[in-house]
Structure 1
């Protein structure tokens, strides 16, 4: 049951988190901080790790090229990690205020944050370096930003567990991307995909890298000649997701009234989706004056 709850939490809360990186204010905020798009993303996401070699950030991010991470991390270090975080928060605050409207003062925000924070405090962090860094990082003051921070800790906790599963499966960073994007034989399996083009652009890999990883997965019997998952491939994919859910369940097991907490969170997440800033979403309809 806890694994099912962890999966439901991921599917419910993810849009609220990614609004930090898909909103119309991020580019300008980054430029004011002296950063490019990559510097904002790498610097703000990796900032809780503190000043460290880019190789450490690459290891925790897992599926980005070392060169991409090094570029973004070097840029963030040059202006200061706190500046990268401030730029991210500035843009996020604008976007959340657009999305939430009057809900930004809703008392339910504090209720949700309080419940999730209990799970964060009680969760295990052994083998979860990025989640541990985020959990120990200072929290913002405003409830709508506190919710984003809480979701970020939960997301990195899940991500660290997912990375462990991928590592044990013996998959390279590019192979994990190719497998995730490959068609699954069961259309009922819900997945968030970005597409090959988007992944190559944002992760820094080349077409040759992608083709080599695809060929490797075909040789392992994970993909068929058309690039879709074989029975073995879908079995591997499903096991990886199940392992990830099971590892994430340790946090959600400690969240009081977790089902009710997710129920309370859904209107806030829906508002983020309805504003239309995220890829694949459309702005909510407005009534003419």
Structure 2
């Protein structure tokens, strides 16, 4: 029997722990190696293929809509042409191999085979039982994929489902706040928790001029000050966005219950901490500059 999740941010903390480990894949040499062997070598093509493959051989429009904060022209340079190099099925198989290698490399064989990993997989999969498909294209596509037998890959699969479920809901909150894709990135970076601009330019396709134009629009709305910092109104808007995202994402964590959420957060945070210590992310990834 589960107990109620009384802290509305408990689900967010649990998601953050799981997502931190999930995101290691996108910076993993194991992933670039596996996709490179298929003929997909450009970093952006790798990213689009790996996240979109569950939706099938979709075009640039579907990917740009589902990903939200990538410049359409960047997406169109790689999609749908990437599917000529590797089918979605081949990409999904390569992603599974890369996830296996990445988790073993960052966490070690003992952790991968541990009772804690098996417990984390059970808890995370239980949480996904309450996820909803409506208006959640990336989650729904991934929910059609089979659950791997190995506990560490089952955990990674469940973390992916929970990531995309929250992410799809987050896009609805951003749209409600009337932030376009780049404005959403600029305000997130201004919180100090988002990607540094250099990484946005490299990975999302936007230019410094487009960034500055978005910042100008945000200043016009009173959300940014002249130095690019969030105003009081901007801080309040970002808080409302996160609160609305929490609301739209509450079902899996209410289903899991307070004790389960607390335990899954504990396990996920320990895995993420170990991955971070193993050098999973670039040192300059997060920041305002």
TM-score, L = length of structure 1: 0.89
1:39 matched to which residue of 2? 45
Q: Following the alignment from structure 2 to structure 1, what is the Cα–Cα distance between the partners of residues 103 and 173?
A: 33
Q: Following the alignment from structure 2 to structure 1, what is the Cα–Cα distance between the partners of residues 61 and 224?
A: 30
Deviation at 1:235, TM superposition (A): 0.8
Does 1:163 find its partner at 2:171?
Answer: yes
Unaligned segments of structure 2, at least 5 residues: 1-5, 285-289
User: Which of 85, 90, 114 in structure 2 is aligned with 1:83?
Assistant: 90
Does 1:128 find its partner at 2:133?
Answer: no
Alignment of 1:114-263 (within 5 A): 114-182=122-190, 184=191, 192-256=193-257, 257-263=260-266
Aligned CA-pair RMSD: 1.7
Q: Following the alignment from structure 1 to structure 2, what is the Cα–Cα distance between the partners of residues 264 and 200?
A: 34
Deviation at 1:2, TM superposition (A): 4.9
Unaligned segments of structure 1, at least 5 residues: 185-190, 282-289
- Count of residues paired in the alignment: 274
Shift in CA distance, 2/75, structure 1 to aligned 2, threshold 3 Å: farther
Deviation at 1:11, TM superposition (A): 2.5
SS in 1 for 2:80: helix
Deviation at 1:271, TM superposition (A): 2.0
Does 1:265 find its partner at 2:268?
Answer: yes
Q: Following the alignment from structure 2 to structure 1, what is the Cα–Cα distance between the partners of residues 102 and 127?
A: 27
SS in 1 for 2:98: helix
Deviation at 1:16, TM superposition (A): 0.9
Q: Following the alignment from structure 2 to structure 1, what is the Cα–Cα distance between the partners of residues 78 and 92?
A: 13
User: Which of 17, 22, 35 in structure 2 is aligned with 1:17?
Assistant: 22
Does 1:109 find its partner at 2:117?
Answer: yes
Q: Following the alignment from structure 1 to structure 2, what is the Cα–Cα distance between the partners of residues 19 and 144?
A: 14
Deviation at 1:28, TM superposition (A): 2.4
SS in 1 for 2:117: helix
Deviations along 1:112-163, whole A, 9 cap, x unmatched? 2222212212222222121111122222232111111111110111111110
Q: Following the alignment from structure 2 to structure 1, what is the Cα–Cα distance between the partners of residues 131 and 34?
A: 33
Deviation at 1:108, TM superposition (A): 2.4
User: Which of 55, 68, 78 in structure 1 is aligned with 2:74?
Assistant: 68
SS in 2 for 1:181: helix
Does 1:278 find its partner at 2:281?
Answer: yes
Does 1:8 find its partner at 2:16?
Answer: no
Structure 1 runs (4+) deviating above 6 angstroms are none
Does 1:30 find its partner at 2:38?
Answer: no
TM-score, L = length of structure 2: 0.89
Deviations along 1:181-221, whole A, 9 cap, x unmatched? 12x4xxxxxx5321111001100111221111111011111
2:287 matched to which residue of 1? none
Give the conservation status (yes or no) of the 8 Å contact 2:54–2:92.
no
